[in-house]
Structure 1
């Protein structure tokens, strides 16, 4: 998941091709359906992103009663309105009356706390949970921001790799060379510096043991002279999420694919660039599919986020989306961290019966 920020943004208004009374308000590369005439290009408005949970008072004020997702009809989710994908809510709630919207936009002020908006946290199935222990030495996974919200992360033409985003659950493994300790966690627990106590019934530990990920991490530590190695992979298949890629992770070995590796040497942590990752793993662990390598083109990336999955080799269902990384890992001042971003496909966002376990 990306971080939740509720901010004032500059709006660009487009005609809705299929509805006379509606328009499309664009924020970054997101577009949200709004009432015609509510905004003009150049206006400032609040943007509430997907996965935001709103208090009922705000739901009622915005006229969204019964129109949002979740059991309480309070969660923002992508939908199609008259054939157009609408992501997020563009609005001007009363709580912002008197606010200098242009200044708030320039300052990047986050209004989530003021409005009582929180991030949706999906429930965790029993197979993904378990007993935990403090793990201050973990190399945790990071939140990846959506390219539609931050389109300036990559300049046109920068050499990038675009990989398929696999719909599973992130398995984060840290190997410490000093004592040979292996710690395994989920993305959510890792952010809290908690590791899962080894349990043969736990999905993450099952995947690590089935694919020998801990042994590969130890090999990488020796080969790269690292004190710690983080191996980040997606565990997927039927029984993990609603998209299974034709793999059954309930009875057999959980399906698993590495999407990133971090190494610490000399007190510095670095992420392996896409080509280096492929070289050092060299078939020792499965990796997520690379869909494109070459100069960054925003339109092509958006196209690659759609279509059928390539993980199974049989295109059994829709693709979740893509992740974009520069071929030379670098810092991005746009997101305030590592230059990496995702795009989630519209068909994936609007599918029926979807699950979003972390």
Structure 2
């Protein structure tokens, strides 16, 4: 998941190809459907992204009662309106009257708190939860921002790697070399500094044990001379999410694929290339492209069929983009890494979105 920020944005307005009374307001690479004539290119308005949960009063003011997603009809979700993908909401609530929107846009002011907008937290099925314990030594995962919101993370021509983004649940494993101890967590629990106690029915522990992840992490720590090694993988299959990649977590066991590795070496945590370190030792997420960064290539590979099963069983969720050489990004204020998500995935029917 990416971070939630509700910001003032400069709009670029496009014609809606299939509706005379609608237009498309562009923010970054996102486009949101708006009423025709409401905004003009260069106007500044509030942008509320997907996965935002709105308070009832704001929903009513925006005329969206009963029209949003979720059991409470209060969550912003990607939809198709007259054939065009609409991601997020563009609006000017009355509470913004008198606000210097130009300054707010330049400063990146976050209005989420002012409007009582929160980030949607997916439910956690019982197989993905369990008893937890404090784990201050757990190596955490980071939120990945969406390339469509921040299109300038990468420079044109910069060497990048694109891997397939899988629809499962993120599993965090940290190997502590001094103790020979393993910590296992989910992204949600890991973000709170908690690890899951080992239990044979727990999905994450079943996955790492079945695929030999603790042993591979121990070998990697010895090779690198690392005090801690973090192995981050996606757990997937029927019984986990609606996209199964040919695996059944309930019968034959959960599928697993590594998407990232970190290691603490000489007191410094570094992000490393999983393919260079674990190819042949652990399953890896498919690598779809290596070469110069070009937006058209990214968008083309974002859509299509999955490649994990080898049988193209269902649609692809999207891709993750990272530089060939790990670096800092002033755009994100952290790692230079981003995701791009398929429109077909966003608007599929009957999809599950568990943590």
Tell me, in whole angstroms, the C-alpha distance in 2 between the residues paired with 1:95 and 1:139: 41
Q: Note if 1:282 corresponds to 2:290.
A: no
Residue aligning to 2:113: 113
Q: 1:307 aligns with which of 304, 308, 325?
A: 304
Q: 1:331 aligns with which of 328, 343, 354?
A: 328
Tell me, in whole angstroms, the C-alpha distance in 2 between the residues paired with 1:282 and 1:127: 29
**1:256-303 Cα shifts (integer Å, max 9, x gaps):** 000000011011011113xxx212213100000011110001111011
Tell me, in whole angstroms, the C-alpha distance in 2 between the residues paired with 1:311 and 1:280: 20
Residue aligning to 1:94: 94
Tell me, in whole angstroms, the C-alpha distance in 1 between the residues paired with 2:246 and 2:181: 33
SS of corresponding position for 1:233? strand
**1:171-203 Cα shifts (integer Å, max 9, x gaps):** 000001011110000001000000000000000
* Preserved CA contact (<8 Å) 2:168 2:236: yes
SS of corresponding position for 2:204? helix
SS of corresponding position for 2:64? coil
1:167-206 equivalences under 5 Å are: 167-206=167-206
Q: 1:322 aligns with which of 319, 323, 335?
A: 319
Q: Note if 1:292 corresponds to 2:303.
A: no
With normalisation by structure 1, the TM-score equals: 0.98
Tell me, in whole angstroms, the C-alpha distance in 2 between the residues paired with 1:272 and 1:191: 20
Tell me, in whole angstroms, the C-alpha distance in 2 between the residues paired with 1:288 and 1:282: 10
Tell me, in whole angstroms, the C-alpha distance in 1 between the residues paired with 2:106 and 2:61: 26
Q: Detail structure 1 runs of 4+ shifted over 2 Å in the superposition.
A: none
Q: Note if 1:269 corresponds to 2:269.
A: yes
1:40-79 equivalences under 5 Å are: 40-79=40-79
1:167-246 equivalences under 5 Å are: 167-246=167-246
Structure 2: gaps (5+ residues): none
Residue aligning to 1:23: 23
SS of corresponding position for 2:149? coil
Provide the aligned C-alpha RMSD in A: 0.6
**1:54-107 Cα shifts (integer Å, max 9, x gaps):** 001100101111111011111000000010000000000111111000000011
* Preserved CA contact (<8 Å) 2:247 2:253: no
**1:202-261 Cα shifts (integer Å, max 9, x gaps):** 000000000000000000000011100000000000000011111100112210000000
With normalisation by structure 2, the TM-score equals: 0.99
Tell me, in whole angstroms, the C-alpha distance in 2 between the residues paired with 1:72 and 1:57: 13
Tell me, in whole angstroms, the C-alpha distance in 1 between the residues paired with 2:277 and 2:109: 42
Tell me, in whole angstroms, the C-alpha distance in 2 between the residues paired with 1:232 and 1:95: 42
1:107-146 equivalences under 5 Å are: 107-146=107-146
Tell me, in whole angstroms, the C-alpha distance in 2 between the residues paired with 1:322 and 1:333: 21
SS of corresponding position for 1:207? helix
